[in-house]
């Protein structure tokens, strides 16, 4: 007689956590904070453009030699890229699945009018889509040079940035994306704090203030670069 095959194997803990709404929200919170930390560093690096081409190009070269001689050339940069890609994929996947789960749980409109959510809350999903499309465009523009105007110059990031923000569409794409980023951070940081248990009745006001400051500083920091190019401050 053939042996019976067991089909009641329990799912792994990782699978159980991922399948739960709390688990997906936790993944979104952690991956979001990883991306937020990167954005702070990235913004500070971008601001080096105000100190001239030598400073900015030197910073870009340093990124490729980071960790040498312990790490091979560009290894540290690729590690950062892999972590960021993993964070973006995890964040987007969890957000999409939570959104679908929310729609399935509420197939009909509410009978009673609900309290209107903030503009940032209501645009989180579309903001995420805008940022996802922007990331693809940004890489094709300033990393691979595929869609870069006026001829991409490898090893000359300063001139590449000038070229991008010398076009009307480059400025429009970047400014719209940065505004979406600010709204995303404003709501996302506070939501992540709640998910990870940092929120409380006494700390909520401070957390919201931090979220607002982070959103404002990062938006202004990133936007300052195309504005500087448009006005001739950086040329």
pLDDT tens for 36-46 read 999 999 999 99
pLDDT of residue 1: 46
Residue 124 is predicted with a pLDDT of 78
Both tokens assigned to 158: 């300063």
Structure tokens belonging to residue 165? 């923000």
| Each residue's pLDDT tens digit, 53-84 | 999 999 999 999 999 999 999 999 999 999 99
Polymer length in residues for the chain: 235
Average pLDDT, the chain: 87
Tens digits of per-residue pLDDT, 202-224?
Answer: 888 888 999 999 999 999 999 99
| Residue of higher predicted confidence among 62 and 123 | 62
pLDDT of 106: 67
* 3 vs 203: which has the higher pLDDT: 203
């Amino acid at each position: 007689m053939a042996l019976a095959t067991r089909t009641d194997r329990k799912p792994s803990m990782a699978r159980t956590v991922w399948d739960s709404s709390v688990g997906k929200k936790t993944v979104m919170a952690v991956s979001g904070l990883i991306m937020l930390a990167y954005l702070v560093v990235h913004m500070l690096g971008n601001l080096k453009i105000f100190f001239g081409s030598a400073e900015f190009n030197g910073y870009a070269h340093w990124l490729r030699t980071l960790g040498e001689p312990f790490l091979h050339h560009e290894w540290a940069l690729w590690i950062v890229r892999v972590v960021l890609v993993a964070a973006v994929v995890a964040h987007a996947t969890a957000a999409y699945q939570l959104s679908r789960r929310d729609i399935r749980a509420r197939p009909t409109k509410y009978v009673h009018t609900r309290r209107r959510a903030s503009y940032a809350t209501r645009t989180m999903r579309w903001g995420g889509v805008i940022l996802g499309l922007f990331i693809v465009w940004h890489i094709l523009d300033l990393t691979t040079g595929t869609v870069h105007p006026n001829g991409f110059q490898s090893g000359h990031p300063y001139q590449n940035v000038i070229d991008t923000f010398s076009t009307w569409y480059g400025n429009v794409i970047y400014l719209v994306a940065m505004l979406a980023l600010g709204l995303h951070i404003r709501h996302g940081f506070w939501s992540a704090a709640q998910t990870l248990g940092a929120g409380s009745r006494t700390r909520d006001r401070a957390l919201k203030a931090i979220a607002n400051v982070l959103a404002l500083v990062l938006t202004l920091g990133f936007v300052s670069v195309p504005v500087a190019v448009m006005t001739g401050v950086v040329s």
